[in-house]
């Protein structure tokens, strides 16, 4: 496997818009991609996405769409509509448990909406198994099964633990994107995450993007915490 340089995504998992803006400003020089999840999107709505786009940042919209195919297709179309000038969201997530038809309808909706809006289609990622689930003998097979489904449906990649990344990379090739949450620098608390690895381990296993939340967001100096992760990846 060719070693690839993973990119850092900082999860804006905070309780107020003020905290989010403070973090974005503090990390502006070091971080290009920010994750907006259920907590912040519920609190701030589309405005936080547009604020990030206006600031020249890329947005990973992690709302994990999972519903009937028509509803998910409409949600993806709406997500593409969260744009600023010629930029829209960079990535968004869907639960592979929604099934092949749901995933395919999402791909079709994203392509159609992006063309109509004159923007680049966002990357669509399938959720495999959450990293808060404990490691079991059957998890590897389940993750691979869902990753294969995602590729068959036309998705660009999956969200998966670093512990399964090497297996996915081997089976699905270099062009399939792997986004890995549950990243914990050496010495950091795992919290409620069960299947965690360090940034260097995740990169070595084939992950393309590493999602880091609390180790950066809760750090006394978030900018320094992000810089240390980037330095680890460079090494």
Catalytic (active-site) positions: 64
Residue 225 near residue 3 (C-beta atoms within 8 A): no
Q: What is the enclosing helix (H) or strand (E) of 45?
A: none
Residue 209 near residue 180 (C-beta atoms within 8 A): yes
Tokens of 155: 């998705």
The label of the residue with tokens 């769409």 reads: 65
CA angle 189, 180, 208 (to 5 degrees): 130
Distance CA(104)–CA(135), nearest Å, equals: 29
Residue 172 near residue 164 (C-beta atoms within 8 A): no
Distance CA(25)–CA(80), nearest Å, equals: 25
Distance CA(199)–CA(9), nearest Å, equals: 11
Closest CA to 6 of 229, 195, 225: 229
Taken as a whole, the chain contains a residue count of 235
Crossing angle for the helix pair 69-80 and 100-117, to the nearest 10 degrees: 30
Tokens of 130: 């959450």
Tokens of 4: 């690839």
């Amino acid at each position: 496997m060719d070693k690839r340089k993973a990119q850092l995504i900082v999860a804006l998992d905070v309780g107020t818009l003020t905290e989010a803006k403070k973090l974005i400003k503090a990390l502006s020089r070091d971080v290009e991609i920010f994750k907006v999840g259920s907590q912040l999107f519920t609190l701030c709505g589309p405005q936080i996405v547009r604020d990030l786009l206006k600031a020249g940042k890329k947005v990973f919209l992690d709302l994990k769409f999972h519903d009937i195919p028509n509803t998910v297709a409409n949600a993806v179309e709406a997500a593409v509509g969260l744009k600023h000038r010629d930029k829209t969201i960079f990535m968004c997530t869907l639960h592979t448990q929604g099934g092949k038809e749901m995933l395919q309808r999402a791909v079709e909706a994203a392509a159609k909406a992006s063309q109509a809006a004159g923007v680049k289609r966002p990357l669509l990622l399938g959720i495999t198994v959450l990293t808060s689930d404990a490691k079991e003998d059957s998890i590897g097979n389940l993750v691979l099964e869902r990753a294969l489904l995602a590729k068959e449906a036309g998705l660009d990649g999956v969200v998966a633990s670093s512990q399964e990344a090497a297996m996915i990379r081997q089976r699905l090739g270099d062009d399939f994107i792997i986004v890995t949450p549950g990243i914990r620098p050496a010495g950091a608390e795992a919290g409620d995450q069960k299947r965690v690895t360090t940034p260097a381990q995740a990169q070595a296993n084939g992950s393309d993007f590493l999602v880091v939340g609390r180790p950066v967001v809760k750090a006394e100096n978030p900018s320094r915490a992000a810089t240390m992760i980037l330095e680890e990846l460079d090494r």
